[in-house]
Amino acid sequence: MWKSRNVWIVLSGEFVAGLGLWMSIIANLEFMQQQVPSDFIKSLIMFAGLVAGVAFGPLAGRVIDTVSKRKVLLYASAGRMLSVGFMFIALHQESVLWMVVFFVSLQISAAFYFPALQSVIPLIVPERDLLTLNGVHMNAGTLARILGTTLAGLLLAVMSLQGMYTLSVIAYALLFASTFLLQVQERKLETAQSDTAGAEGGTPGAAAAEAGGNFPEMLPERGFKAIVPLLRAHPMVMTVLLLTIVPTLFIGGFNLMVINISELQQSAGIKSWLYAVEGISIIVTGFLIKRFASGGSLLGRLFLFASFVAVAQALLFFAQIPALSLLAFGIFGISVGGFFPAAATLFQHQIPKAYHGRFFSFRSMLDRVMFQVVLLSTGLLLDTIGLQWMVLVYGIGSLVLVGWLAAYERKRRASV
C-alpha cells in the first residue's frame, strides 16, 4: 500500500487541505468576532452553510456515481478555492452577507468532495488495506487540525486576515494540483444488469446481500431514491449508521463541553490539554487500528468502540477532577480513532462501488443533521441541567442504544 503513488497523493492532499481548512476556520471566527456581536447570529451563519450542504447531497451522490470521481474531486477542489475568494470580498466590504456566501459555497463544495473521496479510496488500494488507509487518512486530518489551529493562532498575532485566507487558497491550490496526479481505474455502470434487476421488481439483491453477495447495479435514473432499498438490503449498514449517534453525541457538543470543563475547574489551560490528549489518542489509534480490529468482526469492534465512547461520556460526571477529565478525553480519542475508520471500511465493503457516491452523500447529510441536533440539544441541556448531569444522561443513553442495537443485530443474525 505504501508504494502506491495514489495513497500518498490522497494522504498529502488531505493534510495540506486540512491545514488550509483550519486556518480559514480560525480566520472566520476572528472575522465574526469583529463583525457579529450575537452568538445566535453566528450560529445561524454557520447553519446556513450546513443547510446548503445537506440540500446538495442528493445531487452530489448522483453525480459521483455517474461521472468520473476524479473529475468531481477536481471541480470540488476548484470550488473550495473559489469559495475563499468570497471572503476577500467580505473583508474588503466588511460584509457579513458575503461571509454567508462563503459558507454556502464552501459547504456545497464539501458535499461533493468528501463523498467522492470516500468513493475513491476503495479504488486505489486492495480490500485488505482499506482499514489501514482509512485509519491513516483520519490521522492526516487530525494532525492537520492540530497543526492548523496552532499555526493559525500564532499567525493571527503577526498576520492580517487577508494573509490567512491567502495561505488557505494556496493550500487548496496544492490539493487541486495533486488531484491531477491521481490515477483511478473506474468501472462504468452496467446498465444491462440494472435493466434486468429493475424488470424483476421487488428489492433487488436483498437475499444476495444477506448471503454476502453483490447488490445488483441500478439505473442512474433511480438516483438518490435507491438509498432506501439499499439500506433495506443491507441491515448491518443501517445498524452502524444508528450506532454513529453515540460518538456524535460527544463530538457535537465537544467545544461546549471543553468550555464548561474549563469553567468548572477554573483553569484556562485545561482546554489545550483536553484537545491535545484527544488528538494524540486519535493519532495513536489510527496507526494501530488494524491490530485493534483483528481477531473479530468489524461490527463487533464498532460496538466495543461505541461502548467506550459511552463510558467516556459518563466519566465526565467527575469533570471537576482534572485527571479524570483528561482520562475521559483520552478514552474518547482512542475510541473514535478506531470507530470512524472501522465504520468507513465496513461501509466500503458492504456497499457496492456503484452506489458509493449516493451512499456517502447520504451519510454526509445524515452527519450534518445529527451534528446540528446534538449541538442544539447540548446547549439546551447545559443551560438547564448542567454539564455533569448532561454527560450522565448522554452516557447512559448511549449504553442503552448500544445494548439495544447489539440485541437487534444478534436477533437478526439468528433469524438469517
Q: What is the pLDDT of residues 377-389, one digit of tens each?
A: 887 888 888 888 9
In this prediction, residues 205-232 reach a mean pLDDT of: 52
- Together in a domain, 231 and 377: yes
Q: Which pLDDT value is given to residue 38?
A: 66
In this prediction, residues 323-337 reach a mean pLDDT of: 90
- Together in a domain, 175 and 232: no
Of 353, 6, 354, residue with least CA distance to 180: 6
How far apart (Å, rounded) are the C-alpha atoms in residues 245 and 236?
A: 15
- Together in a domain, 173 and 230: no
Number of domains the chain is built from: 2
Q: C-alpha cell of 278?
A: 484527544
Q: Which of 179, 212, 234 is the last residue of a domain?
A: 179
Phi, psi for residue 38 in degrees, rounded to 5: -90, 130
How far apart (Å, rounded) are the C-alpha atoms in residues 328 and 315?
A: 6
In this prediction, residues 186-212 reach a mean pLDDT of: 38
Is residue 200 a part of any domain in this protein?
A: no
Place of cell 474588503: 92
- Does the pLDDT at position 216 exceed 70? no
Q: C-alpha cell of 64?
A: 459521483
Is residue 387 a part of any domain in this protein?
A: yes
Is residue 46 a part of any domain in this protein?
A: yes
Is residue 344 a part of any domain in this protein?
A: yes
Confidence of residue 296 (pLDDT cuts 50, 70, 90): low
| 157 Cβ neighbours under 8 A, 6+ residues apart | none
- Together in a domain, 368 and 243: yes
Is residue 218 a part of any domain in this protein?
A: no
Is residue 195 a part of any domain in this protein?
A: no
Domain hosting 15: range is 5-179
Q: Which pLDDT value is given to residue 223?
A: 60
- Together in a domain, 242 and 175: no
CB burial string 109-135: b at 16+ within 10 A, e below: bbbbbbbbbbbbbbbbbeeebbbbbbb
In this prediction, residues 267-294 reach a mean pLDDT of: 75
Is residue 406 a part of any domain in this protein?
A: yes
- Does the pLDDT at position 346 exceed 80? yes
Least confident of 136-140, 208-212, 258-262: 208-212
Q: Which of 179, 207, 241 is the last residue of a domain?
A: 179
Q: What is the pLDDT of residues 363-377, one digit of tens each?
A: 877 887 887 788 778
- Together in a domain, 227 and 119: no
- Together in a domain, 170 and 242: no
Confidence of residue 201 (pLDDT cuts 50, 70, 90): very low
In this prediction, residues 21-45 reach a mean pLDDT of: 74
- Together in a domain, 229 and 175: no
- Together in a domain, 45 and 135: yes
Enter the pTM of the model: 0.69
Average pLDDT, the chain: 78
Is residue 37 a part of any domain in this protein?
A: yes
Q: What is the pLDDT of residues 39-84, one digit of tens each?
A: 567 667 777 777 888 788 778 878 887 878 888 888 888 888 898 8
CB burial string 248-265: b at 16+ within 10 A, e below: bbbbbbbebbbebbbebb
Q: Which pLDDT value is given to residue 189?
A: 44
Query: Distances in Å between the alpha carbon of 229 and those of 234, 243, 355, 405?
Result: 9, 20, 12, 20
- Does the pLDDT at position 213 exceed 70? no
- Does the pLDDT at position 187 exceed 50? yes
Q: For the domain that residue 304 is a member of, what is the CATH number?
A: 1.20.1250.20
Instruction: For the chain, give the secondary structure using H, E and C.
Output: CCCCHHHHHHHHHHHHHHHHHHHHHHHHHHHHHHHCCCHHHHHHHHHHHHHHHHHCHHHHHHHHHHCCHHHHHHHHHHHHHHHHHHHHHHHHHCCHHHHHHHHHHHHHHHHHHHHHHHHHHHHHCCHHHHHHHHHHHHHHHHHHHHHHHHHHHHHCCCCCHHHHHHHHHHHHHHHHHHHCCCCCCCCCCCHHHHHHHHHHCCCCCHHHHHCCCCCCCCCHHHHHHHHHHHHHHCHHHHHHHHHCHHHHHHHHCHHHHHHHHHHHHCCCCHHHHHHHHHHHHHHHHHHHHHHHHCCCCHHHHHHHHHHHHHHHHHHHHHCCCHHHHHHHHHHHHHHHHHHHHHHHHHHHHHCCHHHHHHHHHHHHHHHHHHHHHHHHHHHHHHHHCCHHHHHHHHHHHHHHHHHHHHHHHHHHHHHC
- pLDDT higher for 292 or 232? 232
- Together in a domain, 228 and 173: no
How far apart (Å, rounded) are the C-alpha atoms in residues 45 and 312?
A: 31
Most confident of 23-37, 79-93, 270-284: 79-93
Q: Which of 179, 208, 231 is the last residue of a domain?
A: 179
Sign of CA dihedral 227, 232, 236, 238: positive
Q: Are 104 and 87 in contact (CB under 8 A)?
A: no
Q: Which pLDDT value is given to residue 186?
A: 66
- Does the pLDDT at position 299 exceed 80? yes
Q: Are 15 and 283 in contact (CB under 8 A)?
A: no
- pLDDT higher for 217 or 42? 42
- Together in a domain, 313 and 377: yes
Q: What is the pLDDT of residues 150-171, one digit of tens each?
A: 777 778 778 888 888 888 888 8
- Together in a domain, 353 and 244: yes
Q: Are 26 and 149 in contact (CB under 8 A)?
A: yes
Above pLDDT 70, what percent of the chain?
Answer: 86
